[in-house]
Amino acid sequence: MSKGVLTDITKCIGCGSCVVACKMWNHLEYDHKQPASGPAAKLNDKNWTVVNTCEVQDTRSEPVWRFAKRQCMHCEEPACASACFSRALQKNADGPVVYYPELCVGCRYCMIACPFDIPKYEWSKAAPQIAKCQLCSSRLAKGEAPACVVVCPTGVMQFGTRSELLQRARNIIQSDPQYIPSIYGQDEVGGTCWLYISDVPFAQLGFRTNLGTVPLPWYTHRFLKNTPFIALGWGALLTAMSFYIRRRKEMAENKQETEKELGDKHED
C-alpha cells in the first residue's frame, strides 16, 4: 500500500530543519551559491528539498507570508519512471519513486518528463547522476518516517498510508474553515504520495495548478514507443564519433612519428 506525507502549509514556520535533516540523512553538500530556503530557494543536485518563502496577496488584509516545503511528489504513476528506458527510476510498492544510479545512462529523459520539474543533474561532476528526493525509501522499508518529517518542530508533516492521509486531510478541511477546499496531490497527474493542504490558493505558493488529472505516463508511453530506436540511434552516433575521434588521433600520432623519423634522417 502506498505511503506518503501530508504537509500542512498553515503550520510551517520556515525554520529549515527539514532541509538540514535531508542533507544529513542523504550526505548532501551545502550549496553556498544556491540557498535551500527563502524566496530564492531552488531544488538542485545538492538541494533535494527546499522551503520557499512566499508573499501571498490577501484581498482582506496586508500580504501574508507562507512557507512551502518542496521536493519530489512521488507520483502514483510517475512520468519520470515511464520515460526512463533503462529503469533507473522505479516506483516502489510502498510509495517512493527511487533512483538507481548504477542503471542510469545519463539520457535525462526523466528531467523532461517530470511535470513538477524535480529531477536535477550533477552538471559539475565528471560522472554525473540524477538527483532527487527518494522519500527516504530505506527508512520507509524499516517502518520509519522520512528524516525531514521526524525533525519538523511544528508537526507540519504527517506520515502514513496515502488513503489514511487523504481522509485526514478531508477531515481537517471540513472541520476548519481557514483551509481552502482542495488537497494538492489528490488528483494531480493521477495522484501523488506527497499531499498538501493550505489556507491560501496553491497557485499563490508557486504550485503548478494546471497539470490535469490524467497520469502522464499515458502520454509518455506513446513517446516511449520510439525511445529504444532513439537510444539505439544515439548509441550508434556516439560509437561512430568515438571511432572517428580515435582514428583521427591515431593518424595524427602516426604523422608526428613519420615527421620525427624524417627529421632524424635529415639531421644524420
CA separation for the pair 227, 233 (Å, rounded): 10
Taking CB under 6 A as the criterion, the residue among 41, 50, 135, 169 binding ligand SF4 is 135
Determine the interface stretch with ligand SF4 among 52-60, 150-158, 175-183, 228-236 (rule: CB under 6 A). 150-158
Is the distance from CB of 99 to CB of 137 less than 8 angstroms?
A: no
One-letter identity of residue 130 = I
Of 45 and 78, the one with the shorter C-beta distance to ligand SF4 is 78
Taking CB under 6 A as the criterion, the residue among 6, 9, 43, 133 binding ligand SF4 is 133
Q: What angle do CA 9, 14, 15 make, to 5 degrees?
A: 135
DSSP secondary structure of 155-174: --EEEEEHHHHHHHHHHHHH
Count how many Cα atoms sit within 13 Å of the Cα of residue 100 in the half-sphere of its side chain.
12
Determine the interface stretch with ligand SF4 among 13-21, 206-214, 230-238, 256-264 (rule: CB under 6 A). 13-21
How many CB atoms lie under 10 A from the CB of residue 161? 15
Q: Minimal distance in Å, beta carbon 41 to ligand SF4?
A: 11
> Which of the residues 31 through 90 are near ligand SF4 (CB under 6 A)?
48-49, 51, 67, 69, 71-75, 78-80
For position 217 contacting ligand SF4 by CB under 6 A, the verdict is no
Of 150 and 173, the one with the shorter C-beta distance to ligand SF4 is 150
Taking CB under 6 A as the criterion, the residue among 3, 4, 6, 22 binding ligand SF4 is 22
Instruction: Write out the three cell numbers for 131.
Output: 538527483
Q: Minimal distance in Å, beta carbon 177 to ligand SF4?
A: 23
Of 15 and 64, the one with the shorter C-beta distance to ligand SF4 is 15
For position 9 contacting ligand SF4 by CB under 6 A, the verdict is no
Q: Rg of the chain's alpha carbons, rounded to an integer?
A: 24
CA separation for the pair 155, 231 (Å, rounded): 45
Sheet holding 37-38, edge to edge: 37-38, 50-56, 64-70
Q: Minimal distance in Å, beta carbon 132 to ligand SF4?
A: 5
Of 38 and 233, the one with the shorter C-beta distance to ligand SF4 is 38
Is beta strand 3-8 parallel, antiparallel or unpaired with respect to 130-131? unpaired
Taking CB under 6 A as the criterion, the residue among 2, 6, 8, 16 binding ligand SF4 is 16
Taking CB under 6 A as the criterion, the residue among 6, 18, 84, 107 binding ligand SF4 is 18
Of 82 and 166, the one with the shorter C-beta distance to ligand SF4 is 82
CA separation for the pair 19, 41 (Å, rounded): 11
Q: What are phi and psi of 227, to 5 degrees?
A: -60, -45
Binding residues vs ligand SF4 (CB under 6 A)? 12-18, 21-22, 25-26, 48-49, 51, 67, 69, 71-75, 78-80, 97, 114, 116, 118-119, 132-136, 146-148, 152, 154, 156
